């Protein structure tokens, strides 16, 4: 008789604990359920096509490579806007979202910023994602591991007469794909643009004696057009593949 009462009491206590967890009294159980639901939606089969939806009627097609889709160019994205991935260019297909904003606060001003944190999980379902920093992003969506990898480049102006004692100045990003800054420049320095860590990217002028002109990432010349010391607005605008663009040194 005592054993039966003890057994019934244990069942009663267990039912109370189960009911409390199901209701999510302290919020923890609800969070576990939500994560479980998300995990059940992680895509395991790559679709045939994938587009980055920028706005209504505007999208960028990603190139399929095995289970991954790559943006071959760097796509300018802005902090105040939202984006999504979809199997159709008009956004009417299957949507895939990222759980968290794309961000790298600790080293956002490095030459090359790259992130492949598994927290950036690709999840099937309605919704959009955002970026924590306006920049031109190259994206890779790998459905084999349900993960997004992204990268962007910051650009610096190098000016020098002696390379060993050069001055490096970080330019500010301006949408879309423009980097600029107003600063004091000495006369008759060599001027060139770089993003060197860990890659080595450099952009020089097609002509060395012009304050404005075209940039190339292959064999460009040092620009020596600043003959008068003073404050100059330095500006470059790059193409989506970062291999060419234009520059301007405007005296203020």
Q: Give the DSSP H or E segment for 112.
A: strand 112-115
Predicted confidence band at 43 (pLDDT cuts at 50, 70, 90)? low
The mean pLDDT value for 202-209 works out to: 96
Tokens standing for residue 243: 């291999």
Q: In this predicted structure, which of 16-25, 172-181, 210-219, 230-239 has the lowest mean pLDDT? A: 16-25
pLDDT(228) > 90: yes
Residue with more model confidence, 186 or 22? 186
Side-chain half-sphere exposure of 211, counting CA atoms within 13 A: 12
Given this model, what pLDDT does residue 42 score?
Answer: 63
Given this model, what pLDDT does residue 4 score?
Answer: 52
Given this model, what pLDDT does residue 100 score?
Answer: 75
CB neighbours of residue 178 within 10 Å? 18
> Is there a contact between 188 and 207 (Cβ–Cβ < 8 Å)?
no
The mean pLDDT value of the chain amounts to: 84
Please tell me the pTM assigned to this model. Answer: 0.80
% of the chain beyond a pLDDT of 70: 81
Alpha-carbon gap, residue 229 to 186, rounded angstroms: 4
The mean pLDDT value for 75-87 works out to: 93
Given this model, what pLDDT does residue 33 score?
Answer: 33
Predicted confidence band at 198 (pLDDT cuts at 50, 70, 90)? very high
Given this model, what pLDDT does residue 98 score?
Answer: 78
Alpha-carbon gap, residue 26 to 215, rounded angstroms: 59
Q: Give the DSSP H or E segment for 7.
A: helix 2-23
Alpha-carbon gap, residue 132 to 108, rounded angstroms: 10
Given this model, what pLDDT does residue 16 score?
Answer: 43
**CB under 8 Å to 118, separation ≥6 — which residues?**
145, 147
How far is the CA of 198 from the CAs of 67, 98, 155, 219, in angstroms? 27, 26, 13, 20
CB neighbours of residue 96 within 10 Å? 25
pLDDT in tens, 136-155: 999 999 888 888 899 999 99
pLDDT in tens, 105-136: 788 999 999 987 665 677 777 778 899 999 99
């Amino acid at each position: 008789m005592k054993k039966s009462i003890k057994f019934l009491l244990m069942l009663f206590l267990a039912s109370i604990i189960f009911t409390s967890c199901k209701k999510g009294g302290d919020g923890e159980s609800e969070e576990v359920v939500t994560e479980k639901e998300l995990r059940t939606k992680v895509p395991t089969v790559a679709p045939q096509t994938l587009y980055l939806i920028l706005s209504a009627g505007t999208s960028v097609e990603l190139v399929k490579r095995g289970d991954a889709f790559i943006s071959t160019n760097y796509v300018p994205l802005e902090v105040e806007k939202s984006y999504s991935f979809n199997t159709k260019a008009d956004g009417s297909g299957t949507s895939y979202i990222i759980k968290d904003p794309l961000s790298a606060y600790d080293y956002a001003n490095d030459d090359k910023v790259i992130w492949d944190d598994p927290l950036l999980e690709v999840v099937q379902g309605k919704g959009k994602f955002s970026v924590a920093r306006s920049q031109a992003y190259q994206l890779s969506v790998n459905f084999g591991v349900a993960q997004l990898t992204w990268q962007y480049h910051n650009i610096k102006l190098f000016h020098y007469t002696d390379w060993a004692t050069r001055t490096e100045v970080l330019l500010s990003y301006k949408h879309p794909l423009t980097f600029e800054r107003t600063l004091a420049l000495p006369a008759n320095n060599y001027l060139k643009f770089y993003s060197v860590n860990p890659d080595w990217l450099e952009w020089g002028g097609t002509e060395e004696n012009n304050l404005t002109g075209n940039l190339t990432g292959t064999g460009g010349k040092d620009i020596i057009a600043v003959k008068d010391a003073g404050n100059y607005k330095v500006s470059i605008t790059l193409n989506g593949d970062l291999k060419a663009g234009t520059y301007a040194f405007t005296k203020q």
